[in-house]
Amino acid sequence: MTAKSVLDDIRKKIDDQQRLSFDDGMFLYRNDTPLQAVGELANIVRERISGNVAYYNINTHLNPTNICVYRCNFCAFRADLREERGYAMSDDEILQRGQEATDNGCTEVHIVGGLHHQKDYEWYLNIVRLLNDTYPQLHLKAWTSVEINWFEFLTKKNIRQILEDMLEVGLGSMPGGGAEIFHPEIRDQICEHKADTGKWFETHRTAHQLGINTNATMLYGHIENEFHRIDHLIRLREQQDETGGFQTFIPLAFHPENTGLAHLKKPSALLDLRTIAVSRLMLDNFPHIKAYWIMLGIGTAQTALSYGADDLDGTVRHELIYHDAGATTPEEVSVAKLEELIREAGREPIERDTLYNQIIRDPHDPSKWATGEKLASTLP
């Protein structure tokens, strides 16, 4: 078949709302498959699911410690215990972050960090408890499968027991980090000691069974290739078929600075847009695709809203992990700026909470808000 006939066949599948195959995904990733055509197809699916809206939220990040037992090649955030830059936050510092989030009208605190070998399970559990008890209006999106696996090691409890503990103290949902690349050919090279692919899926499967919504990610633009990316996407699609608890997929562009892979170039904007578009086309059962502006840069994230993405993430106060790896984007943006970026891209901005309910702000005091209706997405 000619390239044109393959593209025509994929276009027909999209029009008929049929699932794309592994080979279709590989074709869409080829450099000689026109990016504009891939983006056009992704936009059809994006508008079918989300219409002309683009979502954002008002959130803050909390990284309780950067001290970590693992030494993943791609990570610039981690530190050793004796390093000057190593830290672990006190209860007072954690509560100050919660107060700051509240004062600034945040609806979500995103909590991930290092695996500190001198902090016990109760320390991690207490972070969620402290924030939930003091600021119950904040949604706490906390802990990747890597942290959950570490808690298994610390406590000898199973995943279900740990997640039940976390729910009891105030966990609201889970982020999608720690996925990196699922294929062992790559995973064994970039993060061989931390939670493996099977453990990542077991964690998210269990979370979904307990009614916990989670996100999913993919770290791309390092030593993997398009085969590993499509393999990654199809594994996620199959899990979503089974449990249905994934809300959002976030492709994460690798930033090499200050990592063990610093000799690599960061991915181009063209690869960023192609990855977002292919993700939207392959993940037909995911409601949302996020263009994480912290990693992509504001301009690419804006453009991505026409290449399959329907979410820009949020205001993101106190982001450290990607800035330690050389991200040059601002550490936060204002609501006005986010809405301006979305409107410039021809989309209608809608503020959401973590679970995609609309947020209604007090016009006289933006720090006060209420949760509105569930925001609809139309999946096949």
Question: Per residue in 236-290, pLDDT tens?
Answer: 999 999 999 999 999 998 877 766 677 778 889 999 999 999 999 999 999 999 9
Q: Among residues 345, 295, 320, 283, which one has the least CA distance to residue 111?
A: 320
- C-alpha distance from residue 273 to each of 88, 270, 340 (Å): 36, 5, 21
Tell me if 360 sits within 8 A of 372, measured CB to CB.
Answer: yes
Query: What is the pLDDT confidence band of residue 80, given thresholds at 50, 70 and 90?
Result: low
Report pLDDT for 326: 41
Report pLDDT for 239: 98
Structure confidence by residue, pLDDT tens digits, 149-208:
999 999 999 999 999 999 999 999 999 998 999 999 999 888 766 778 999 999 999 999
Whole-model pTM: value is 0.91
Query: What is the pLDDT confidence band of residue 316, given thresholds at 50, 70 and 90?
Result: low
The full set of domain ranges for the chain reads: 3-374
Cα(360)–Cα(125) distance, integer angstroms: 31
End-to-end Cα spacing for the chain: 28
Q: Exposed (0-12), middle (13-18) or buried (19+): which is 363, by Cβ within 10 Å?
A: exposed
Tokens 């891209």 belong to which residue? Answer: 345
Complete edge-to-edge strand list for the sheet that includes strand 214-220: 214-220, 246-253, 288-289
Cα angle value 270/275/289 (rounded, 5°):
125
Structure confidence by residue, pLDDT tens digits, 12-50:
999 999 999 999 999 999 999 999 999 999 999 999 999
* Residues in CB range of 95: below 8 A, 6 or more apart: 130, 131, 134
The average confidence (pLDDT) of the chain is 90
Report pLDDT for 191: 75
- C-alpha distance from residue 110 to each of 5, 22, 64, 314 (Å): 45, 33, 11, 11
Q: Looking at domain 3-374, which of 1.10.645.10, 3.20.20.70, 3.50.50.60, 3.20.20.10 is its CATH number?
A: 3.20.20.70
Average pLDDT over residues 198-226: 96
Cα(356)–Cα(377) distance, integer angstroms: 10
